[in-house]
Amino acid sequence: MRGTLVEKIIREHLVEGTLEPGSEIAIRVDQTLTQDATGTMAYLQFEAIGLDRVKTELSVSYIDHNTLQVGFENADDHLYLAGVARKHGIHLSRAGNGICHQVHLERFARPGRTLVGSDSHTPTAGGVGSLAIGVGGLDVAAAMAGSPLYLTAPRVRRVELVGELPPWVAAKDVILELLRRLTVSGGVGWAMEYGGPGVATLTVPQRATIANMGAELGATTSIFPSDERTREWLRAQDREEQWIALEADQDAEYEDRIVLDLGQVEPLVAQPHMPDRVVPVREIAGIDIDQVAIGSCTNSSYVDLMTAAAMVRGKTIPPGVSFVVAPGSRQVLAAITRNGGLADLIDAGARILETACGPCLGVGQAPRSGAVTVRSFNRNFEGRSGTLDAGVYLASVETCVASALIGKLTDPRDLGTPPSIALPNAFRVDDSMIVPAAHPAKRDRAVEIIRGPNIKPLPLAEPPADEMDVEVLIALGDNITTDDILPAGAKLLPLRSNVPAYAEHVFGRIDPSFPARAQAAGAGCIVGGANYGQGSSREHAAIVPMYLGVRAVLAESFARIHRSNLINFGILPLVAEPEALKTLPQGTKLHLSGVHAAIDAPGGGDVRVTTEAGEALTARLSLTAREAKVLRAGGLLNSLRER
């Protein structure tokens, strides 16, 4: 079979459709992952589908996001997740074992396999040549129940890597460079496929850093070939037998090509409040900083943390800077503990957190008001750190630590010779914090699944009416994130299993009056701009507005995962011209008609939108035949149950 790497893996997994970019295909799902903040909902949905055991080759449930237990809620969720895992044949990575993407890369991701995860950074596994895709929880539930994954066949963009990274320049700078060139919507509809002679110069964790932040480009997936470096990684993880060689054919055809000379990349930084506001560190070096944080699923590798340790060895972080380290996995934390790296970090004054997502999504370490914080993470959306007026800068570990040491944003090249840290030939493999899925024959049907009082029943969507009167509840600009729609953070994450309580916080950072107005209106719609719903996979950003009566979102364009989530929960994703959208301010009363005909028309049709003043516009509802069925049924859960 000839073609791109993406085509090869898709062809091998194709169960419906033809592989033409832009058309809907269905692929067999080998592996799934969930995390606790999206997982509770996903497993409630899996339970509602009513199957005994997952049908995938491997499914893993991670507890990594919602680990700050200031009340009973999160611990109750963890207990629920443990019960479901035991009952339904799912591995459970316990709290303390690490961030799903880092641990999956270490222990489970395999070249050539498909992986679907209820987290937008699932493509991290593309670092070992998995075709890994982030989706909403319900799509993962469906995949665990044996459904293929339906997706728009991506266009494939080749990123030709040549040359070698200069000293002090990191994989993080490579993906920041791509964000600078392509922006946060530049990957929508695309698979980013890396190739070229530069690939061999990058280790698997470096590749994973690049693949991870393909999510910030809006890409469907990012993938690297599986080569000798991949084999070394799998060998170091004691699973060399899982290695296969995998690469694109020489004559593979790509819809787009980018050449990136690694030798020309320099230390870069994304400024507040968008991951594509990228400039060279040199350009803005010298700004005072208050906090530096290392970790997250983007930069938690052994080499990342050892680089940080080596840079601070024998030094003290200056008094004005809080230096936070959240190691991404137990494997890495244990390794740097044994070799003394952790002691170097502690001696320098680092504040060590547990192995979890932590400050990346505002769970702890919110900086002071008005702070400048430099983080090795992947998202810097306004308010996500937990402090609304803090400015978050995203950079490599090297830039972060150089800045922490100087107390000002610093180009690491100013520090002289970089430390030289090699990837170990073998990690100490210890999976004792992963409760393995019970063997099918030994499955314990009597497992009691304990649901704490915060775990509320799932709200079900209703089929859209043919005609509806809706009020514009909010009118927004471009690139609205799911963090804008429904914030995460330590205070709100415990409400992930409790939709009625979470509903009080929809658009909470932008307009706290939204929930009350939505409820008063009875039925509403949201007006957005381009790339509406970018960022996370959290389907709560669809479910909870649905619960508040949101029936449609009118926007210029949608982010991939959020659009699917809207359809999965019976909300119409309507596309309209930006000029037309500008005529629909908050409070406008709209009449939508012709909804059923638009759903039923092959490929979708136009919905007529009329204002009270009698002005009319059309909004396009583009749907595949399958999506039309889902919407008609009032969401994916209803549609799966009908089947």
Binding site for ligand SF4 (CB under 6 A): 65, 99, 119, 121, 296-297, 357, 360-361, 378
Contact flag: residue 30 with ligand MIC (CB under 6 A): no
Q: Which partner, ligand MIC, ligand SF4, none, binds residue 406 by CB below 5 to 8 Å per kind? A: none
Binding residue for ligand MIC (CB under 6 A) from 130, 536, 568, 638? 536
Phi, psi of 217 (to 5 degrees): -80, -10
Q: Which partner, ligand MIC, ligand SF4, none, binds residue 506 by CB below 5 to 8 Å per kind? A: none
Q: Which partner, ligand SF4, ligand MIC, none, binds residue 99 by CB below 5 to 8 Å per kind? A: ligand SF4
Beta bridge partners of 288: 408
CB of 488 to ligand MIC, least distance (A): 5
Q: What are the helix (H) ranges across 293-396? A: 302-312, 330-338, 341-348
Contact string 103-142 vs ligand MIC (x = CB under 6 A): ----------------xxx---------------------
CB of 259 to ligand SF4, least distance (A): 28
Nearer to ligand SF4, 360 or 366 (CB): 360
Please report which helix (H) or strand (E) contains residue 622, including its range. strand 616-622
Binding residue for ligand MIC (CB under 6 A) from 179, 289, 305, 488? 488
* Whole-number Cα distances in Å, 632 to 45, 184, 525, 571: 19, 32, 18, 11
Query: Who contacts 232 (Cβ-Cβ below 8 Å, separation ≥6)?
Result: 204, 423, 425
Nearer to ligand SF4, 107 or 121 (CB): 121
Q: 421 near 310, Cβ under 8 Å?
A: yes
Contact flag: residue 37 with ligand MIC (CB under 6 A): yes
Q: Which partner, ligand SF4, ligand MIC, none, binds residue 403 by CB below 5 to 8 Å per kind? A: none
d(CA 248, CA 625): 32
Contact flag: residue 151 with ligand MIC (CB under 6 A): no
CB of 268 to ligand SF4, least distance (A): 19
Binding residue for ligand MIC (CB under 6 A) from 32, 38, 56, 209? 38
Nearer to ligand SF4, 17 or 489 (CB): 489
Nearer to ligand SF4, 65 or 231 (CB): 65
Question: How many helices and strands in the chain, by DSSP H and E?
Answer: 22, 27
Q: Which partner, ligand MIC, ligand SF4, none, binds residue 538 by CB below 5 to 8 Å per kind? A: ligand MIC
Q: 355 near 329, Cβ under 8 Å?
A: yes
Contact flag: residue 102 with ligand MIC (CB under 6 A): no
CB of 207 to ligand SF4, least distance (A): 16
Within 220-281, strands assigned E span: 221-223, 256-261, 268-270, 278-280
The total of other beta-carbon atoms located within 10 Å of residue 290's CB is 17
Tokens of 465: 């009416």
Nearer to ligand MIC, 330 or 379 (CB): 379
Query: Who contacts 138 (Cβ-Cβ below 8 Å, separation ≥6)?
Result: 41, 42, 45, 539, 565, 568, 569, 636, 637
Q: How many chain residues are in contact with ligand MIC, going by CB under 6 A?
A: 13
Tokens of 625: 């035949």
The closest of 114, 149, 117 to 129, measured between CA atoms, is 114
Contact flag: residue 624 with ligand MIC (CB under 6 A): no
Residues that bind ligand MIC (CB under 6 A): 37-38, 65, 119-121, 361, 379, 488, 535-538
